[in-house]
Structure 1
Amino acid sequence: MNIREAQLEDIETLFNIRTSVIENYQSLEELASLGVTPETIANMLQTDCRAWIAEIDAIPIAFSMANVAEKTIFAMFVLPSFEGRGAGRTLMQEAEKWLWRQGAKEIWLLTGNDSNLRAYGFYLHLGWTPVDIQPDGQIKFIKRIVIETETLLKG
């Protein structure tokens, strides 16, 4: 598996992966109604955000996206046929490392507030802590940098 930073020419790939998922599915139209369009993603990638793509045999299978200004990981999606192969975990680690290296001490993400959802258990397994329910019903998870991690990042 290869992990690389996403470029502007990857935006269509990001949307293809995003709209392929079964849990938390949203169509292009639904995403656009939320302000998530190729144009807004392009702007984000050129400012406070980074995205990473996981590939197997040069085929994009997953991506994550983080925003340093907001200290959040706001996208983590895997093609359904590639779930369970470690791409999600690896991409989350990549996004977390980037946020820690940018000076974040605490990072956060939102997901559906249903412990039966795969994402909910996935984030718990990766050391994220659920903290509160948002007005829209999603649950906020946080993760704090630990001294050992901070030392490793500097060295």
Structure 2
Amino acid sequence: MPKHQDSFQIRPATVDDVAAMFQVRLAVTENRMNRDALAAVGVTPDSIADAIRSAPCAWVATTEGEVAGFAMVDLDSACLFALFVRSNHEGRGMGSALCQVCEQALFAQHEEAWLETAKTSRAVRLYRHLGWGNESDIGDGDIRLSKRRD
């Protein structure tokens, strides 16, 4: 069921959204990676399309017919795997709404979920604001945060 927030809509991602999701991922200003770097860690259009086909694991935020953000989870490992919003759409609640949809999916199957992010990122402030904590340093400037089901 689509969730409406302010001037955007959150809906499950489809295989047809994969190209737009990659455009968002490649356009972000933090945690930048190019296609080659993403492919080196196994993130390709084909791998994302396969994940979307196999489970309800990705959502997009759309505004005016355009994908402006997306988020993905790994339901097996209880990981919030990705959450990205185009810089010109930040500050509108899109990241929070995407995170909350991911949490619902993760907590439907797990008592606790986790994510990894840069210790000094703007994203870490969002996650902390939404109740993610239990911080542990995983090296290279990154941290792991977790959150328990209410």
Q: TM-score, normalised by structure 2?
A: 0.90
Q: Which consecutive unaligned segments of at least 5 residues does structure 2 have?
A: 1-7
Task: Provide the residue aligned with 1:36 in structure 2.
Answer: 43
Answer with 133-142 or 123-132: which moved more: 133-142
Unpaired runs of at least 5, structure 1: 147-155
User: Percent of aligned positions with the same letter in both sequences?
Assistant: 36
RMSD (Å), alpha carbons: 1.3
CA distance in 1, matches of 2:89, 2:22: 16
Match of 2:80 in 1: 73
SS, match of residue 110 in structure 2: coil
Paired residue secondary structure (2:17):
helix
Q: Identify the residue that residue 151 of structure 1 maps to in structure 2.
A: none
* TM-aligned CA deviation for residue 46 of structure 1: 2.3
In the alignment, is the contact (CA less than 8 A) between 1:48 and 1:69 conserved in 2? no
Aligned to 2:132: 128
1:47-102 residue CA offsets vs partner (Å, 9 max, x unmatched)? 2551100111211110010111010111000001000011000000001011112x
Matched, 1:98 2:105: yes
Name the CA shift for 1:113/1:130 in 2 (closer, same or farther; >3 Å): farther
What amino acid maps onto 2:94 in structure 1?
A
Q: In structure 1, how many angstroms separate the alpha carbons of the residues matched to 2:65 and 2:33?
A: 26
CA distance in 2, matches of 1:30, 1:108: 23
Letter in 1 for 2:117: T
What CA distance in whole angstroms lies between the structure 2 residues aligned with 1:139 and 1:31?
19
Offset, 1:34: 1.4
C-alpha contact (below 8 Å) 2:12/2:56 kept by paired residues: no
Contact 1:49 1:67 in 2 (8 A): no
- Is the CA contact 1:109–1:140 (under 8 Å) kept in the aligned structure 2? yes
Distance 2:76 2:33 in 1: 25
Structure 1 CA distance, aligned partners of 2:94 and 2:87?
11
Determine helix, strand or coil for the equivalent of 1:32.
helix
Q: Displacement of 1:39 after TM fit?
A: 1.2
